[in-house]
Amino acid sequence: MSRQSISLTRPNDEWLKEQVESEEYASKSEVINDLIRRARETEQIRKKLIAAEESGPADQTPDQIRAGIKARLKNAAEI
């Protein structure tokens, strides 16, 4: 794991301390890593949504889409 040195504004530092003091996290590093992880997940979701929008309209009806989703969920539950 790499070590980094960062500068924080007073309000951000206080917020980090509060997170650790509330025992939600064990350290400031844990908080920062969680924030970065969430930001990366959000970025991945955003990219998928943009790709979906750019792909154009679906060639299936809403009923066909629902039926496909139900079939996939049923198959996943059987595994």
pLDDT, one tens digit per residue, over 20-45 is: 999 999 999 999 999 999 999 999 99
- Look at residue 33 and tell me if it is in a domain: yes
User: Which amino acid is it at 75?
Assistant: N
Instruction: Return the residue matching tokens 């400031």.
Output: 28
CB 19 within 8 A of CB 8: no
Does residue 1 lie within any of the structural domains? no
Verdict on whether the full-model pTM lies above 0.85: no
Asked whether residue 74 carries a pLDDT value surpassing 80, the answer given is yes
2 located within any domain? no
Q: For residue 24, tell me if it sits in a domain.
A: yes
Express as a percent the part of the chain with pLDDT over 90: 82
Q: Say which amino acid occupies 63.
A: D
Closest CA to 29 of 1, 70, 61: 1
What Rg value do the Cα atoms of the chain yield, rounded? 21
> 68: domain range?
10-78
Report the alpha-carbon distance of residue 39 to residue 3 in Å, rounded: 20
Report the number of distinct structural domains present in the chain: 1
